[in-house]
Amino acid sequence: MIFDMTTAGSIELMADLIRHDHRSLDTMTLSPVGAFQTRTTTLETLMREVTDCLAESFRNRAVGDFPMLYFACGKARVGSTALSNLFGMTGMPSYYQPLKAMLRDAQVGQPLSPWIVPSASDTPRIFSKETIGPYVLAESLFNPLKLLIDAGYPPHRLHLIALDREPASALASWLDKLISRASETTLLAHYVIAALSAARVCSYAREQDVAVTHYVYEVSKEPISSIRVLFDRLALSGCFAEEAVTSWQQPEQGHGTNARVIFPTEAAIYKVPNLHTSDSAYRYQSRPTSTLTDAQLGVLERCGVNAVYRDSVAACIRDLGLSAATSARLFGDRAGVAA
């Protein structure tokens, strides 16, 4: 099966398959896409290749040798890079999408290098972030948590931090930041797919008895209190420091100066100018949405992306124990998504 993602109808059909976790998602043909994917393959094949590579490095490890992994995952452009920098500022090793880097190597038939996770005896806690999307179907559909568990990472040593962001703002960010790498039509389709796939990761986590905490980007409007509550929820109160939230390097230095954030080696095509906003602290960055069309907004509603966000907000309020007053300040009428 090959999907043409150029029409609203085809996007809605794909969205329905994702919501029902249909088997065809694993076996449908994924055709080459320029330099991003040079082989014809399936999601099932790519996932197996990455899993097998990870399993080689996990196979001979005792369960107690796996560090506690705080695993942040969501659609792309949800503030995950800033969060990874923040965790790195606490002194915790913070990994920048190591699994998607492996997937991307598999997409072009390159030999895979496993993610080498440190020993718990040396490093008891680590952070990693993975984003879903944006350039090809495989990275918009893949489940990075499944890669870890199938490869042998113990579920009780994982805590999923489920990320989300108000749908129109996140889509506007995709269209602004990524348009040099993919067409508007492709980005819209992959955005919908990635948003729904992120919800599928949460469902999988619950099936595997992985602890889950929902963290929606809009809570960063009140960064210190929100991060304090997040760390309390993660049993990391002892790692919290206001300076890790408020006092980063100077903006002109860029996020790469944080030595505790560990970046993978990736092809030049993934180096998008000005993709990440340099900043001197962890904070909310607003995104205008006036450039979005009624047709694009309609796709978000019909395909269930807005519904996923509403669920994320409700879960975030519950998981972080936010009061009604705090929730109203942070989300208003749920950031413009009608109830």
For the chain, give the percent of residues with pLDDT over 70: 92
Q: pLDDT tens digit string along 258-278?
A: 558 999 999 999 999 777 766
Per DSSP bridges, beta strands 125-132 and 68-75 are parallel
Q: What does the pLDDT read at residue 4? A: 62
Tokens linked to 57:
């490095």
- pLDDT over 60 at 23, yes or no: yes
Q: pLDDT tens digit string along 90-103?
A: 999 999 999 999 99
DSSP state of 37: B
* CB environment 263-299: b (16+ within 10 A), e (fewer): ebeeeeeeeeeeeeeebebbbbeebebeebeeebbeb
Q: What does the pLDDT read at residue 29? A: 95
Bigger pLDDT: 32 or 257? 32
Span 325-333, mean pLDDT? 91
- pLDDT over 50 at 256, yes or no: no
Q: 134: cis peptide before it, omega within 30°?
A: yes
Of 278, 82, 292, the closest CA to residue 187 belongs to: 292
**Dihedral (C-alpha) 287, 293, 299, 302: value to the nearest 10 degrees?**
100
Of 178, 174, 138, the closest CA to residue 3 belongs to: 138
Looking at 128-132, 279-283, 286-290, 310-314, which range is the least confident one? Answer: 279-283
Span 205-234, mean pLDDT? 97
Q: pLDDT tens digit string along 109-139?
A: 999 999 999 999 999 999 999 999 999 999 9
Bigger pLDDT: 318 or 241? 318
Q: What does the pLDDT read at residue 279? A: 74
Looking at 27-41, 67-81, 221-235, 275-289, which range is the least confident one? Answer: 275-289
What is the rounded CA–CA span in Å between residue 318 and residue 48? 35
Bigger pLDDT: 69 or 334? 69
Sheet holding 68-75, edge to edge: 211-216, 158-164, 68-75, 125-132, 94-96, 261-262
- pLDDT over 90 at 339, yes or no: no
Q: What does the pLDDT read at residue 35? A: 96
What is the rounded CA–CA span in Å between residue 208 and residue 205? 5
Q: Are 94 and 128 in contact (CB under 8 A)?
A: yes
Tokens linked to 136:
């090809």
Q: What does the pLDDT read at residue 1? A: 53
What is the rounded CA–CA span in Å between residue 57 and residue 118? 11
Q: What does the pLDDT read at residue 123? A: 97
Where residue 63 falls among pLDDT bands split at 50, 70, 90?
very high
* CB environment 174-191: b (16+ within 10 A), e (fewer): bbebbeebbeeebbbbbb
Span 294-322, mean pLDDT? 97
